[in-house]
């Protein structure tokens, strides 16, 4: 399984006990959807390696205490800390038509509030303070602020995302 077939769920943040348990930080608005997993994929040496879950318990809202099969002690568990955690795309919950996952909009056309096509969305940059869309604009990479206030509409059929772009922002990329 490749990264293109998966999404990043979170990270193994630290060890928990001498029994080889770890804390899995779940980076999701719906962490409860992932509380009963049987398996995860860890990125080790740039490859996704399956780890089967023997036991798990909610530690905090976005944290799961996990005991893996074949991870016997704290030494084994310590090798897994700071590893990124992935799941197959099929594990994502279904969304309403007007909702989307950020990985889905890569390749969409960004459209401004006046229905002008701005360019292709290259990446969603998840910055808690100021989330951005990286867009190909006039042969350059432009950064466009993106949040609930700037979102206008999504058209999945036509692969377009309509966003309110601050006045004058695109001029700095011309």
Fold classified for 102-173: SH3 type barrels. (2.30.30)
43 forms bridges with which residues in the sheet? 48
Predicted pLDDT at 160: 96
Q: What is the DSSP string of 51-66?
A: EEEEEEEEEETTEEEE
**In contact, 36 and 27? CB cutoff 8 Å:** no
Predicted pLDDT at 28: 87
Q: Kindly list the domain boundaries of the chain, sorted by start residue.
A: 3-90, 102-173
For CA atoms 125, 37, 98, 104, give the dihedral sign: positive
* Angstrom distance (rounded) from CA 91 to CA 89: 5
* Angstrom distance (rounded) from CA 145 to CA 163: 9
Q: How far is CA 20 from the centre of its chain?
A: 26
pTM flag (> 0.85): no
Q: Which CATH class is domain 3-90?
A: mainly beta
From the number of C-beta atoms within 10 Å of its C-beta (0-12, 13-18, 19+), residue 50 rates as exposed
Give the full edge-to-edge strand order of the sheet including 140-145.
Answer: 140-145, 132-137, 117-125, 109-111, 160-163, 151-155
Predicted pLDDT at 59: 94
For residue 161, give Cα distances in angstroms to 36, 72, 97. Answer: 33, 47, 13
From the number of C-beta atoms within 10 Å of its C-beta (0-12, 13-18, 19+), residue 86 rates as buried
Tens-digit pLDDT profile for residues 24-53: 999 988 899 999 999 999 999 999 999 999
Which residue stretches of the chain have pLDDT < 50?
none
**In contact, 22 and 14? CB cutoff 8 Å:** yes
* Angstrom distance (rounded) from CA 156 to CA 102: 12
Predicted pLDDT at 127: 80
Predicted pLDDT at 132: 94
Predicted pLDDT at 40: 98
* Angstrom distance (rounded) from CA 161 to CA 163: 6
């Amino acid at each position: 399984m490749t990264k293109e077939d998966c999404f990043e769920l979170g990270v193994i943040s630290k060890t928990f006990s001498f029994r080889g348990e770890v804390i899995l930080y779940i980076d999701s608005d719906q962490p409860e959807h992932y509380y009963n997993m049987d398996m995860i994929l860890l990125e080790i040496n740039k490859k996704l390696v399956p780890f089967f879950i023997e036991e798990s318990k909610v530690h905090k809202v976005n944290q799961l205490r996990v005991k893996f099969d074949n991870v016997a002690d704290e030494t084994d568990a310590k090798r897994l800390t700071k590893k990124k955690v992935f799941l197959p795309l099929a594990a994502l919950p279904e969304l309403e038509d007007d909702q989307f996952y950020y990985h889905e909009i890569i390749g969409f056309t960004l459209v401004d509030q006046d229905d002008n096509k701005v360019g292709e969305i290259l990446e969603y940059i998840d910055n808690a303070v100021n989330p951005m869309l990286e867009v190909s604009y006039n042969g350059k990479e432009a950064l466009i602020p993106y949040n609930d206030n700037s979102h206008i509409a999504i058209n999945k059929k036509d692969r377009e995302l309509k966003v309110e772009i601050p006045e004058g922002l695109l001029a700095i990329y011309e």
